[in-house]
Amino acid sequence: MHTIELESMAIEMPAVGEHPNRQAFHGVLTRVDVPSDRAPAGARGHRVVLTRVAAEGALGSLLGMALDYSPSLDRHDARRKVGIITRAEVVGRQIELGGYLFAKDFPEIVSKIAKPQAGLGMSYEITDARIADMRAQVWTLTKVTFTGAAILRRDKAAYQDTWIELD
pLDDT tens for residues 57-93?
999 999 999 999 999 999 999 999 999 999 999 999 9
- Please give the Cα distance from 43 to 22 (Å, whole number): 33
pLDDT tens for residues 118-150?
899 999 999 999 999 999 999 999 999 999 999
Q: Per the confidence metrics, is the pTM higher than 0.95?
A: no
Classified as helix, coil or strand, 113 is helix
pLDDT at residue number 52: 97
- Please give the Cα distance from 43 to 40 (Å, whole number): 6
Amino acid occupying residue 102: F
DSSP letter for each residue of 21-63: T-EEEEEEEEESSS--SSPPTTSTT-EEEE-HHHHHHHHHHHT
